[in-house]
Amino acid sequence: MKSMVIGGIILIIALMAGTYFVAGDAFISDDYINALTFLGAAAIITISTFVVLKYVNQMKNDTASGDLAEENWDGIGEYKNKVPTGWAIAFIGTIIWMFWYMTIGYPVTGFSQIGQWNEETNEYNAKFQQKWVNPSEDTLKAMGQSVFLVQCAPCHGNDAEGINGKAHDLTKRISKEQVEFTIRNGANNLKESFPAGMPPMMLTEDADISAVSAYVAGGFKGEQPVAYATCAACHGDNGEGMPFVGPNIKSYDEALVMAVLKEGKIGSIGQMPSFTGRLNETQEKALASYLRSLGGK
């Protein structure tokens, strides 16, 4: 047993030294929470080590005793032993420490860096919205370009051309292949903004799908295919959409851009994630204005 105790002490010292080596800088600061954390780590390491040593010694030297419970499983029974004192003290002590930590040590109503960040962000957003209540179109374009370079360029490229097909080319609005993909697979990922959705294969004939896709991708120029009447029921005869029914498939209007930013987009290239919470409404409108200026109308 003596050798086990010595080994346990060496293990505790080694673990504490390793902890200090890895995170020692944090404990030198003035924040007493870090000191409490280190103290808690020391207590857990020490208690855990000696509890393990105690029970290892018991398993080596003690014999089972006490009253057997009436229940048994395949002849294996359990003794009606009391809860170990050390375990009970540690369990109750942990509960007491939890309440102390939440109410006095680091109260849930106390200072929070996340809370401070949220407050400052809300204040900034309020000032931003007040400053740009009625921005001009030129202002929106300039603002939208800044937003695009930060939020969109990593996937779409600084020139918005989609980085060699890895993302949608925003300068060309939409391709014939993308329209065909949507017709064949449907588009039900904008359910909050356009709850009507679009089921797959509204058009079943390949010739009709090809004609409508070319017409839509071409910017609604030339003679309108007869089969487009199926699409017009939701997107309108001119393709400019209907609120809560079908999005604008002719240009990047505010409703379409804001819907995609809010809910993401699934298409032939891949999936675009939702940008909910990253931009305020003015920034979303500015982004739509900038995208329209790129030529993808």
Q: Percentage of the chain with pLDDT > 90?
A: 9
pLDDT at 166: 84
For residue 29, pLDDT over 60 is answered with yes
The mean-pLDDT minimum among 33-37, 85-89, 160-164, 195-199 falls in: 33-37
pLDDT at 93: 92
Residue 222 CA, distance from chain mean position: 44
Average pLDDT, the chain: 83
Mean pLDDT along residues 60-79: 79
119 token code pair? 């407050």
75: region left, alpha or beta (phi > 0 left; psi from -120 to 50 alpha): left
Task: Could you please state the CATH topology (level 3) that the domain comprising 137-293 is classified under.
Answer: Cytochrome Bc1 Complex; Chain D, domain 2 (1.10.760)
The string of DSSP letters for 10-52 reads: HHHHHHHHHHHHHHHHHHHSS-HHHHHHHHHHHHHHHHHHHHH
Percent pLDDT > 70 in the chain is 95
> Is the pLDDT reported for residue 96 higher than 90?
yes
Residue 145's pLDDT is: 93
Question: Taking the CB of residue 235, how many other CB atoms lie within 10 A of it?
Answer: 21
Residue 297 pLDDT: 47
pLDDT attached to residue 148: 92
Number of residues assigned to the chain: 297
Residue 291 near residue 140, CB atoms below 8 Å = no
Within 10 angstroms of residue 80's Cβ, the number of other Cβ atoms is 10
pLDDT in tens, 287-297: 988 988 886 54
- 10 Å CB burial of residue 176 (0-12, 13-18, 19+) is middle
Q: How does DSSP classify residue 246?
A: B
Domain ranges in the chain? 2-105, 137-293
pLDDT of res. 26: 60
What whole-number distance in Å separates Cα of residue 258 and Cα of residue 17? Answer: 54
- Mean pLDDT confidence for 255-266: 84
Cα of 203 vs its chain's centroid, Å: 36
3-state secondary structure of 54: helix
Question: Average of pLDDT values for 239-257?
Answer: 84
**Minimal CA–CA distance to 235: which of 271, 192, 182?**
182
- More confidently predicted of 53 and 153: 153
